[in-house]
């Protein structure tokens, strides 16, 4: 009976159950649980140090957890026998510092993983690079080197590089925090277009206006716990004084 139930209700793409994580004596995640369904955009917000990046990094196994359970696209991330590279083929992650490979052109940055990991042919990978660069509006930068691009363009190229692996879920950690306001807009537009295309996403952001517009679900983290969660409307009518204070200060 459970079986039929499972096959008719799609399991979430990302699920965290009672996740605990400490760095030494510092408790960073204190029983965090949330789920992200297919096509859903989950926005993680909270003060600096509340554990947002750590939660995101645990999803892609950049940090190992102390207890609890994380399942991502059917991979049991908390399982020590996890096939790490299989997980990371399904998950795209983009960091605040774009981390493009400086010695490679944008095209080479994008084709590297499809060719080496998926064994895609060079010609096919180059077509794919053109496609994802068009998606982020950088078709003309194919043969440029990262340092020849502005910060916003580099971040869009980093997003394109992740997309070329055709991930099932994308993780964004404050991808606009290093950018000027004008450049922030162009990156956020790319992410909005991805969301409209139905990409499943988990993102940490300090851009409250953007979060309100894009979030299907908001998780407010406070002291390593999910302090408040709900639809994007909780950003305008928070239930807890902590979230009220957080959105009030706009920090």
Residues making contact with ligand ATP (CB under 6 A): 23, 26, 28, 46, 48-54
Residue 93 site contact among ligand ATP, Mg ion, another protein, none (CB < 5 to 8 Å, cut-off depends on kind): another protein
**Closer of 82 and 208 to another protein (Cβ):** 82
End-to-end CA distance of the chain: 47
Q: Shortest gap between Cβ of 147 and ligand ATP (angstroms)?
A: 26
Binding residue (CB under 5 A) for Mg ion from 43, 45, 53, 219: 53
Q: Count Cβ atoms below 10 Å from residue 182 Cβ, excluding itself.
A: 9
Binding site partner of 113, from ligand ATP, Mg ion, another protein, none, Cβ cut-off 5-8 A by kind:
another protein
For another protein, the binding residue among 45, 72, 93, 226 (CB under 8 A) is 93
Q: Is 167 in contact with 194 (CB distance < 8 Å)?
A: no
38-63 CB burial, b ≥16 within 10 A, e <16: eebbbbbbbbeebbbbbbbbbbbbeb
Q: Is residue 138 within the footprint of another protein (CB under 8 A)? A: no
Measured CA to CA, the distance from residue 148 to residue 88 in angstroms comes to 29
Q: 181 by DSSP, 3-state: which?
A: helix
101 touches 146 (CB < 8 A): yes
Q: How far is the CB of 182 from ligand ATP (least distance, A)?
A: 22
How far apart are alpha carbons 247 and 228 in whole angstroms?
12
Helix (H, G, I), strand (E, B) or coil at 171: strand
Question: Per-residue string for binding with another protein, 94-113, x by CB under 8 A?
Answer: -x-x-xxxxxxx------xx
Contacts to another protein from residues 158-177, by CB under 8 A: 158, 161-162, 165
Indicate the residue whose CB is closest to Mg ion. 53
CB of 248 to another protein, least distance (A): 33
Nearer to another protein, 112 or 232 (CB): 112
Classify residue 144 by burial, with Cβ atoms within 10 Å: 0-12, 13-18, 19+: middle
Q: Which is nearer to ligand ATP, 48 or 123 (CB)?
A: 48
Question: What gap in Å lies between CA 100 and CA 88, rounded to an integer?
Answer: 17
Phi, psi of 22 (to 5 degrees): -125, 145
* CB of 21 closer than 8 Å to CB of 65: yes
Residue 97 binds which entry of Mg ion, another protein, ligand ATP, none, with Cβ cut-offs from 5 to 8 Å by kind? another protein
Q: Which stretch binds Mg ion (CB under 5 A): 20-28, 32-40, 52-60, 84-92?
A: 52-60
Q: How many residues does the chain have?
A: 251
Residues of the shown chain interacting with another protein in the complex, contacts defined by CB under 8 A = 60, 62, 85-86, 88-89, 91-93, 95, 97, 99-105, 112-113, 116-117, 145, 147-148, 158, 161-162, 165
């Amino acid at each position: 009976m459970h079986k039929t139930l499972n096959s008719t209700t799609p399991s979430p793409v990302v699920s965290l159950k009672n996740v605990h994580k400490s760095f030494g004596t510092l408790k960073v995640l204190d029983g965090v649980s949330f789920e992200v369904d297919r096509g859903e955009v989950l926005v993680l917000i909270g003060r600096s140090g509340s554990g947002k990046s750590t939660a995101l990094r645990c999803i892609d196994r950049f940090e190992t957890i102390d207890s609890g359970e994380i399942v991502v696209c059917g991979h049991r991330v908390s399982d020590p026998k996890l096939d790490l590279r299989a997980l990371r083929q399904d998950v795209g992650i983009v960091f605040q510092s774009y981390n493009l490979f400086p010695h490679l052109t944008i095209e080479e940055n994008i084709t590297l993983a499809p060719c080496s990991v998926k064994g895609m042919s060079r010609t096919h990978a180059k077509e794919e690079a053109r496609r994802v660069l068009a998606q982020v509006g950088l078709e003309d930068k194919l043969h440029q080197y990262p340092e020849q691009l502005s910060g916003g363009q580099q971040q869009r190229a980093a997003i394109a590089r992740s997309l070329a692996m055709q991930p099932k879920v994308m993780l964004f950690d404050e991808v606009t925090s290093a950018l000027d306001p004008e450049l922030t807009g162009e990156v956020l537009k790319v992410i909005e277009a991805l969301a409209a295309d139905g990409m499943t996403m988990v993102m940490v952001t300090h851009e409250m206006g953007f979060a309100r517009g894009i979030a299907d679900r908001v998780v407010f983290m406070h002291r390593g716990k999910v302090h408040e969660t709900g639809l994007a409307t909780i950003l305008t009518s928070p239930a807890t004084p902590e979230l009220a204070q957080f959105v009030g200060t706009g920090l």
